[in-house]
Amino acid sequence: MKYKARVTVTLKNGVLDPQGKAIQSALGSLGFEGVDGVRQGKVFDLAVEAADRKAAEASLKAMCEKLLANTVIENYAITLAA
């Protein structure tokens, strides 16, 4: 069965986010006031072929652990739909 997945990767709390700070500063320069705590992340949309939902989740977790996320400094969340 083919599953559609979205993997969202974000920096762990406590990890400095210079890109987030730059985005926050740029937003302020553009006149957007009251914006605080900007954190930047990544989103991956994938189509995964697997025998069942459990196998798809296991495959996606392995992808995250091996390539999509640096688990030392990043968290990831998987959203799966048939």
Residue-wise pLDDT tens digits, 2-39: 999 999 999 999 999 999 999 999 999 999 999 999 99
Question: Which amino acid would we find at residue 23?
Answer: I
Q: Which domains does the chain have, with CATH numbers?
A: 2-81 (3.30.1280.10)
What is the three-class DSSP state of 34? coil
The whole-angstrom separation of Cα 40 and Cα 18 is: 9
The whole-angstrom separation of Cα 82 and Cα 60 is: 14
Give the pLDDT band of residue 82 (cuts 50, 70, 90): confident
pTM here is 0.90
pLDDT on residue 49: 98
Task: Kindly report, residue by residue over 30-66, the tens digit of the pLDDT.
Answer: 999 999 999 999 999 999 999 999 999 999 999 999 9
The whole-angstrom separation of Cα 66 and Cα 29 is: 38
The whole-angstrom separation of Cα 73 and Cα 22 is: 19
